[in-house]
Structure 1
Amino acid sequence: MDLGVTALDTSSNYLGFGSHEALARTAGDLLPKFTVSTKVGYFPGPDGAGHSLDPVRLHAAVERAAEDLGREPDLVFLHNPEQSLRGAAPHNQDALVQACATLDAAVAKGLCAAWGVASWDPSPLLSLIDATVPRPAVLMVRAGLLVGARTLDAAEALTEAWGLEGGEVWGMSPFGGSTSTPLWDRIDPRVFLRDGSRLSCVQAAFRAAYHLPRVGSVAVGTDEPAHLGELVGALAGGVDERTVQEYRSLLRDRSRAQPA
């Protein structure tokens, strides 16, 4: 909050399905000062976490999230629906419609203020979206320099299919998991900025993520306050749209050259 961050994103399955209680316990009376989003779709099982789009389980998960947080979430995402949709053919569209309708009903019942879809791989969703599928308030997708051309194109196509724009599209995992990955020592993302000389490579990579694909917010980890502060400072940087488009063209060329 001191850094100006006022939105927190978590998931029911984080911290071994204990993230909601941990967040409520840690934030305490500060939690109402933040907007809180979470995700449902993964459930504990005898062999570890399993995924389900069962409407009854999803509804119960939203109820449990509000109970464990001590407040209704501002936004609940349907977490990686593609995990179950792949095995639901030929009834995968029905499964998606029912899952989205369940979250829509949760909003109507006051269990959360809005609902969305968070997808690691949005490609399987594209062929399923039509007027029968409820429209989410927010779509969350992977963003950044490590996202492949097919995923970027699918995310943009899904955004268009649902008629989302601006702040209705969020990004996640802008560093592919960690800024300590050796890759970040070998590239200089500052080429994507109009004047990147005053920003670090990490800051430049984060700023560029807002354009790969175009998103209004990007979720990052909060393990290190200093790192979080560095990323907040990166928002002042200006992105060179021409360089981003050239990069997208290179990604598409490389994707087409790879065997299917």
Structure 2
Amino acid sequence: MTASLGLGTYRCRDVARAAAMAAAAGADWIDTAPNYAQGQAERALAPVLARHPELKVSTKVGFLAPGSRGLALRAGVVAAGTAEAGHCLAPRYIGWQVECNRRTLGRTPDLVFVHNPEHGCSREAITDRLYLAFLTLEKACQAGLIRGYGVATWSGFSSGLFDVPLLLELASKAGGPQHHLRAIQLPLSLVNLAPIAQALDGVGVLADAVAAELEVFASAPLHGGAVPGLVTPELAELIRSGSTPAGAGLAVVASAPGVRRLLVSTDQPQHWSEATTVIGQPPVPLDTLRKVTDVLGT
């Protein structure tokens, strides 16, 4: 596979256990956010990151964990209504959250993703929201607080609210030709198949990311555990002979053009072992991927 395996912590019940398991298995990346695991994910990761300095880590800004809303209010970086809503991308809040992320993780994040910028945002407002976020993150990069930034979205690309060319335009406006926009993160799976189908034709978000040399992080590759139940034995055999439904679903995403990292959220050794096996095999051929998109549609 051209994609590598990373740990996503969104659905992990035991983040510390999952991180230790991933590190022991040779994973090189962990993705998290300050609101994951009831606001405790970053704190749980800190000891594992300290023991494994070779691990890279990405975190996010945007959602406020319930336990941090009071802190943000007392710091004066959000208004009461915004804290209650639980999501903020105002520059003052982003700057404060970056400092909190860094302190809690115990190290400089390799990437900070703008987390679901589409949340509660209109088409008219999204450009300004992203530009101000990028401007703040460029300043954080220049200050050495983070190494780069990206956009992690659930529906921003699929809804047409923004695209990679717009992100590049705004990053260049905020940071010049040497801007620090490095990656995008979006859901890709047999349920969210449209970006993969487009990439096979050389268009869409994945093709744009490749052209821009942005790393693509594929989140929710099993769509919250729904994919194995949707894969028939015939479909699994089409994708890869002898594969399990889960393995077949992961193989499609890991083989998609442009995907750099496959984020799997699990603290179960058997699930991690299966994902590792998938990543260690050759990619699913492009003509097979085309047959899968033809069978399932987009």
Question: TM-score scaled by structure 2?
Answer: 0.72
39 and 232 in structure 1: CA distance in 2 versus 1, 3 angstrom threshold: same
Map of 1:219 onto structure 2: 263
Q: Which amino acid aligns with 1:106?
A: A
Q: Which amino acid aligns with 2:34?
A: S
Query: Are 2:239 and 1:205 equivalent residues in the alignment?
Result: no
Map of 1:258 onto structure 2: none
2:276 to 220, 229, 232: 232
Tell me if the contact between 1:85 and 1:96 (Cα under 8 Å) persists in the aligned partners: no
Instruction: Describe the SS at the equivalent of 1:111.
Output: coil
Following TM superposition, where does structure 1 have runs of at least 4 consecutive aligned residues deviating by more than 4 angstroms? 45-49, 150-154, 159-162, 184-187
3 and 48 in structure 1: CA distance in 2 versus 1, 3 angstrom threshold: farther
Return the offset for 1:93: 0.9
2:149 to 104, 110, 115: 115
2: distance between equivalents of 1:41 and 1:248?
Answer: 33
1: distance between equivalents of 2:257 and 2:121?
Answer: 23
Tell me if the contact between 1:7 and 1:36 (Cα under 8 Å) persists in the aligned partners: yes
Query: Are 2:117 and 1:81 equivalent residues in the alignment?
Result: yes
Query: Are 2:278 and 1:242 equivalent residues in the alignment?
Result: no
Q: Which amino acid aligns with 2:103?
A: E
186 and 55 in structure 1: CA distance in 2 versus 1, 3 angstrom threshold: farther
Return the offset for 1:220: 0.6
Tell me if the contact between 1:144 and 1:210 (Cα under 8 Å) persists in the aligned partners: no
Return the offset for 1:188: 3.6
CA-to-partner distance for each residue in 1:211-246, whole Å, 9 max, x for gaps? Answer: 446401110113112210111111233302112123
Return the offset for 1:107: 1.2
Aligned length: 246
CA-to-partner distance for each residue in 1:161-192, whole Å, 9 max, x for gaps? Answer: 56434x71110111001268633467643412
Instruction: Describe the SS at the equivalent of 1:137.
Output: strand
1: distance between equivalents of 2:85 and 2:198?
Answer: 29
1:147 to 188, 192, 198: 192
Map of 2:50 onto structure 1: 29
Instruction: Describe the SS at the equivalent of 1:189.
Output: helix
Tell me if the contact between 2:46 and 2:105 (Cα under 8 Å) persists in the aligned partners: yes
1: distance between equivalents of 2:265 and 2:28?
Answer: 14
1: distance between equivalents of 2:249 and 2:167?
Answer: 34
After superposition, where does 1:1-260 map in structure 2 within 5 Å?
1-25=23-47, 27=48, 29-44=50-65, 50-86=86-122, 89-121=123-155, 122=157, 123-126=160-163, 129=166, 132-134=169-171, 136-149=181-194, 153=198, 157-161=204-208, 163-165=211-213, 168-178=215-225, 182-184=229-231, 188-193=235-240, 196-197=241-242, 199-212=243-256, 214-238=258-282, 239-249=284-294
Instruction: Describe the SS at the equivalent of 2:134.
Output: helix
1: distance between equivalents of 2:165 and 2:56?
Answer: 30
Which segment is superposed worse, 228-237 or 121-130?
Answer: 121-130
CA-to-partner distance for each residue in 1:21-56, whole Å, 9 max, x for gaps? Answer: 11114x163142311111111114578662222111
Return the offset for 1:58: 1.0
Tell me if the contact between 2:32 and 2:41 (Cα under 8 Å) persists in the aligned partners: yes
Same amino acid, percent of matched pairs: 27
Return the offset for 1:14: 0.1
Question: Unpaired segments of 5 or more residues in structure 1?
Answer: 256-260
Question: Unpaired segments of 5 or more residues in structure 2?
Answer: 1-22, 70-82, 173-180
Question: TM-score scaled by structure 1?
Answer: 0.81
Q: Which amino acid aligns with 1:114?
A: G
1: distance between equivalents of 2:226 and 2:183?
Answer: 26
Tell me if the contact between 1:144 and 1:205 (Cα under 8 Å) persists in the aligned partners: yes
1: distance between equivalents of 2:268 and 2:151?
Answer: 27
